[in-house]
């Protein structure tokens, strides 16, 4: 299998995934864009393992995803018959990506194999660091960065994005027996799990959401400090990803009760508008 074909397969996986990240990747120069496709394709395999399957089968699928990573780190990766192994192996070497963020992502995925119930925000934050902060740290190695604080700030951005997902996907996650919002928060404001499952739009629920919004906003505030540390040819991609999720955040902030009945999303036209904003910022700045 040619390496170019392996990257094409990863591109198709990324495109079909329907992620907002895909639009941001379009703003990258080709070598970095291909690398992001490889990372996303492997991450998609991990996500699908825990979201599309359950029980022993989910564990088996996640173990298979981990095996792909291990094969990508082997000297013989170019002889592997799996396109993601080839593309990911090339990406890891080309951009000198450490293994730790990949392993953190796997730790987060393993947490989703069982019913999720967090007691404190510290537990939720740790989960966010595993499943999203890790992705931020992977991305900046592809983007290129300066400053010792960049990995920390990339982690903060990942947490901000994942906290937004936690709020947006509240209804869907409950149906999967995943309760990410800390029970300590729920007890302190007087909002019960039964209230959430029945979609009760009570004052305690709004207080509960306000806590989550305030935390996410603080992480967004820190995340913007990452922009000037990223190489100029990748900054538009990062800003696009940030802008998409911050738009979702603002939509939830404006109508927090909506997460009880629907999954808030941005239209394709809105995402394209944000791309043009990112391009225009480049042209004038």
For the chain, list the domains and their CATH numbers: 1-97 (1.10.600.10), 115-285 (1.10.600.10)
Bridge partner residues of 25 (DSSP): none
Express each pLDDT in 75-123 by its tens digit: 999 999 999 999 999 999 999 999 999 999 999 999 999 999 999 999 9
Average pLDDT in the chain: 93
Q: pLDDT exceeding 70 applies to what percent of the chain?
A: 93
The tokens for 7 are: 């990257």
The residue whose two tokens read 């729920």 is 186
Long-range contacts of 276-284 (CB under 8 A, 24+ apart): 277/243, 278/27, 278/236, 278/237, 278/239, 278/240, 278/243, 279/27, 279/236, 281/236, 281/239, 282/235, 282/236
Bridge partner residues of 145 (DSSP): 230
**8 A C-beta contact, residue 36 and residue 25:** yes
Express each pLDDT in 177-234 by its tens digit: 999 999 999 999 999 999 999 998 999 999 999 999 999 999 999 999 999 999 999 9
For residue 83, the tally of other CB atoms under 10 A from its CB is 21
Please say if the pLDDT value at position 64 is more than 70. Answer: yes
**8 A C-beta contact, residue 34 and residue 4:** no
Please say if the pLDDT value at position 66 is more than 90. Answer: yes
Q: Name which of 45, 5, 6, 10 is nearest 25 in CA terms.
A: 10
């Amino acid at each position: 299998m040619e390496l170019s074909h392996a990257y094409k397969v990863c591109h198709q996986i990324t495109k079909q995934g329907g992620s907002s990240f895909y639009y941001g990747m379009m703003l990258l120069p080709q070598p970095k864009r291909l690398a992001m496709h490889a990372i996303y394709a492997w991450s998609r395999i991990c996500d699908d393992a825990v979201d599309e399957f359950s029980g022993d089968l989910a564990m088996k699928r996640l173990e298979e995803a981990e095996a792909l990573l291990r094969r990508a780190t082997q000297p013989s990766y170019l002889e592997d018959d799996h396109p993601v192994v080839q593309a990911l192996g090339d990406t890891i070497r080309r951009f000198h990506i450490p293994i730790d963020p990949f392993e953190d992502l796997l730790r987060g995925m393993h947490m989703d194999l069982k019913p999720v119930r967090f007691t404190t925000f510290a537990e939720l934050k740790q989960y966010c660091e595993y499943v999203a902060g890790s992705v931020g740290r992977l991305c900046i190695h592809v983007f290129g960065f300066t400053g010792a604080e960049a990995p920390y700030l990339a982690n903060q951005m990942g947490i901000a994005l994942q906290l937004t997902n936690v709020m947006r996907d509240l209804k869907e996650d409950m149906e999967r027996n995943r309760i990410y919002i800390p029970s300590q928060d729920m007890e302190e404001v007087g909002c019960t799990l039964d209230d959430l499952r029945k979609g009760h739009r009570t004052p305690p629920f709004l207080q509960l959401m306000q806590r989550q919004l305030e935390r996410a906003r603080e992480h967004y505030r820190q995340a913007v400090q990452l922009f000037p540390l990223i190489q100029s040819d990748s900054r538009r991609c990062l800003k696009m990803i940030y802008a998409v999720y911050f738009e979702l955040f603002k939509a939830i902030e404006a109508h927090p009760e909506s997460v009880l009945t629907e999954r808030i999303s941005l239209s394709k036209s809105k995402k394209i508008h944000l791309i043009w904003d990112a391009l225009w910022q480049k042209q004038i700045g």
